[in-house]
Amino acid sequence: LMATLVAALLLSYSPSPRPALPPPRFSAALQLTSAAAQRSDGVLPLPASPLPHFAWRTVVTFAANPAAFLVIPLLFRFAPGLDVLGANWATDRMALRHGLVGTAPLLALTLLPLDRIPALSSLREVTTASKTICLYAFGARLVPLRAFAAATLLAGSAAVCEELAFRGALMGGAERLCLQLLPPRICALIALAAQALLFGRLHSYTASAAYFAAATVAGCAFGAAFLATRNLAVPVLMHFAVDMVSFLVCHVQVSRSGEAEQRRLIGGDSPIATALRGLVGVPPGAPPRADERSAPQQGA
């Protein structure tokens, strides 16, 4: 009887249906491994990392860079007969008027699309270098108020420190030394050319001579304004206005250029891009440099 009951229970037992299990979810690492296995080169793709963002620490680092030039006017401070501020130093309406007049042609050269002219196509390197600086300084997103404040700090630091060093100290000192041997007009031209070439050399941000040439022209303009007025306030105002406008215009252009262009700027091979990667750092997801793209992958 017991055996008959057990057999009846077994025959009548019907297991309840179980819900269908979802397909197994692979981890992100396993998915990447599977994708890499299907690629011919076997390179494991890395997830895109965030682009540079606005940070006051980066802005202050950039602003402190021109302060290194203050050593030059400090050394020339005790030179006899040399006034780094100029014999006619004044911050009046006349200096403002002269500064605005001198700024106009420089802004025209800066903002006009001269790189579209075939003979001046190398100026595209200058534009790329300037955009790279703005990308690191102000970030990838448009931040108008913070960018305005940061541009004021950066332009003011560069204008004051570099004009004191190049136009006030170096140009004035070279002119004073030359006066012992040559006529005043020739000495002024020699001092103007010498400081402009040095200014351009220290601003060589591109692999070619494009940025060197552009910075040398700017150095000539600032130096000519100092020679004409003997008032350092004039080139300081010119330098500040040109840098201020350039920073803000460049920030708008970079923020609207798109992620692909911004990552291309970060992974550039220009001297300024390489220097900024070492100074500020480069996001891990940025494209590698040209000399690293063809390098063989090392095994773990």
Residue type, 195: Q
pLDDT digits (tens, 9 = 90+) for 184-193: 999 999 999 9
- Which residue in this structure is represented by tokens 């402190």? 64
Q: Residue 242: which of 256, 226, 221 has the closest Cα?
A: 221
At residue 70's C-alpha, the angle toward residues 161 and 145, to 5°, is 35
Q: Residue 167: which of 156, 179, 159 has the closest Cα?
A: 159
pLDDT digits (tens, 9 = 90+) for 199-229: 999 998 888 899 999 999 999 999 999 999 9
- Kindly tell me if the per-residue pLDDT of 179 is higher than 70: yes
- Which residue in this structure is represented by tokens 């979802």? 22
Helices (H), the chain: 2-12, 28-38, 56-64, 71-76, 93-111, 123-138, 144-162, 172-178, 184-201, 210-229, 233-255, 259-266, 271-279, 290-293
pLDDT digits (tens, 9 = 90+) for 251-262: 999 999 999 999
